[in-house]
Structure 1
Amino acid sequence: MSDADVSLQNTTSSLSLLDLPIEILLHICSYLDAVTLVHSLSLVCKEFNAILNDDSLWKARISQMCPHSGFPVLPLVEEDELFWKLSCVALERQTVLWDQDGETMERLSLANAHYGTIDGILLMNQGKICISGARDRSLVYWVLPNEENDNNQLKITNDAHDGWIWDLTAIDDTIYSCSWDRTIKAWKLTETGLIHATNYEMYMDVTGALLCVTSCPDLRLFAAGSFCKTVLLFDPRSDQPLIDKYQPHQRAVVTIAMNGNYILSASEDKTVAVWDQRNRKIMKTIKISKDHFPMRISMQKNTVYVGNNGGRLHVLDPSNDFEIAKEYASGHNKAITGVHQAAGHLITSSLDKSVRISSPTDPPKLLATLHSSYGEVASMDYMNEVLAISGSSGVEIWRPKNGV
């Protein structure tokens, strides 16, 4: 072998990706998924990390996935160096999960556990357990089948309430159910089912059914809305758990959401009321529509989605006194019964018997449409890539197939 051949061999063996022009490297990166780039390639060396730390790269990828739409829906209030990377990862993941061919998700079904419409549904234990409450007054505890156990594990609590069960929420392993019977009940989640823990009887505080309940695990508080226009705030750790009560509406409170700063309640009077938890007063009331009333609220730090009974979505801006910033046709032709937002998706369910998974963009771009086997979708929950919906007499679950 000549000296020239040896020199060429040494030069070739020392070449690496870092020797490529950055345009070529980025072209190679375009063939890799975002999760590989963020969690693998960017950790190889400082040079790769610096190249992949450029927000313009991730903005371009998101623009290619969601052309002719804006992201995020509302401007960022605070700069976050991870926002664009993680948003791109989440958007790509949801696009894969909700492939229209349905090759990535499996569908589970639970029928005949209830014999009335199931208005309350709640996923627990990272989406491995589903709790449902219905108009037959029962609660059902369902351990979803897994690799170790292919059988459905069910435990039914009959007569959990003396009236229809309308809604469910949780703080850690305690589940709260509210009912037409004007009570909220606390249930401990165990490996074998639900154990009744506490009754919160509101006979002296409300004159109508409790229609909705929500919680803020960070504060360990929960709140409920009633048919008689009242919102109730509870601290389950206190000897006097009812710590506040206020009446922000002129008609029934149909849904409620809360975080560490605010409680948002929606009513048949066509308004959403914002309660300031720090000052213990109503901050403002927002008229959602002249013709329709709000039915579901999904609240994140920077964005609030409100779905109404006409099938439309309204976006409220928390950074601008919860003003209505956007309004969309959701694609549903009947009332919206569920809204869930996250970095990679916007999910809505409806009385039109469908669930729509869209991108969280302006406007939303449809990724997939699911159809209920149990008629009108009464309620919806989402946790850890597991989607649960309920209908007239059954529950359906969509979750990633093994290895996806």
Structure 2
Amino acid sequence: MSPLAERIRPTNLDEVVGQEHLTGPGKPLRRMTETRRLSSFILWGPPGTGKTTLARLMAQGAGQEIVALSAVNAGVKDIKEVVAKAQTNGSLVLFLDEIHRFNKSQQDALLPYVESGLLTLIGATTENPSFEVNPALRSRARVYLLKPLDEETTRRLLERALQHPEGLQARADPEALNLIAQAAMGDARRALSALELAASLGEGRITLATAREALGSGTLNFDKGGEYFYDLISALHKSVRGNHVDAALYYLARMVEGGADPLYLARRLARMALEDVGLADPNALRLAMAAKDAYDFLGSPEGELALTELVVYLALAPKSNSVYVAWKNAQNAARKHPDAPIPLHLRNAPTALMERLGYGKGYAYYHDDPEGSFAQQYLPEALEGLKLYQATGEGWEDKVRERLKALRARFSHKRKGNPT
């Protein structure tokens, strides 16, 4: 017998659960089927959101033959075979699952046939097409984003599976359905597989216990290196930056529980200490380095407390990106003026010739001549007066902001030749 997800696969758009933003009245996929005018598009979304089902329904609704390939094991030879079939038939729909697995040359091989209309391409991917699909191919295919099913929608899907003629002949406790809907985290295939296994374990009765057994421990929606991984680290970073300690702790826990490398997290947290806390609290970087060392020393699970302490500290610390901005400004200045001559008095004079040429001449050593030091030129002449760093009003920087203002005023005053 085929799997439950296959047996109850929708036969028309009205049976599709979720993705109403694409399949509802007046929405893009609905309009295509109603007009029977199918154009190339790419379905981008997490696993179990209905990409394969929608591709089949779209071809069926347009009355066109569909050929399905997986980019995992297909190649240019397979594309040529599909093209030959399309030339015989006049046209057809190519459903290319995991299109991001095709390299540039393989994707380029599709271009002339998609452009001519011989092939209508429906691509499916879990990865961001902006990075994984060639711009030329992407420009010929609209991208539609599929959303993970929410718990209520997943619950409706499970109930449909219990009522469907080809579904399960089983009874389910409400709390068991709630658990499966929650643990599936938007993946319809995962939800249906767990439901089918729970029914088998319970011999036709799906209880909370059989649902837990069916789900096992691998229920975290996490793919180290995939799109979702970077969504989580982005959420953690932005929660720390936004001073939301509870959200930051939640995303940290999700990443740790999902199997993220704690030392990778320590590196990212050190980056946050530099980029977003910066000189508003110079202790942030020290604590980040200490947390990394503590994890190295303690290992898991005790070392995870060091990361937790660091996240709490960073989220609650005053924030400043002044150093980050100053560095970007400095890079831009260096790229714009890569060869600006360094003032002679700032140059080193290790040889007699260089000394005769004026290298180091007239340099005012601050500790011996503070006034002369403020009067001398430091930046190349073309960059005189350049201001790259601006202190914020948070934390430690609030204390140095007035000093920075006074120092710059003193440099300007002395550079204009004022004696006092």
TM-score by length of 2: 0.21
Structure (1 or 2) with the greater strand fraction: 1
Bigger relative CO (Cα 8 Å, ≥ 6 apart):
1
Larger-Rg structure: 2
Q: TM-score, normalised by structure 1?
A: 0.22
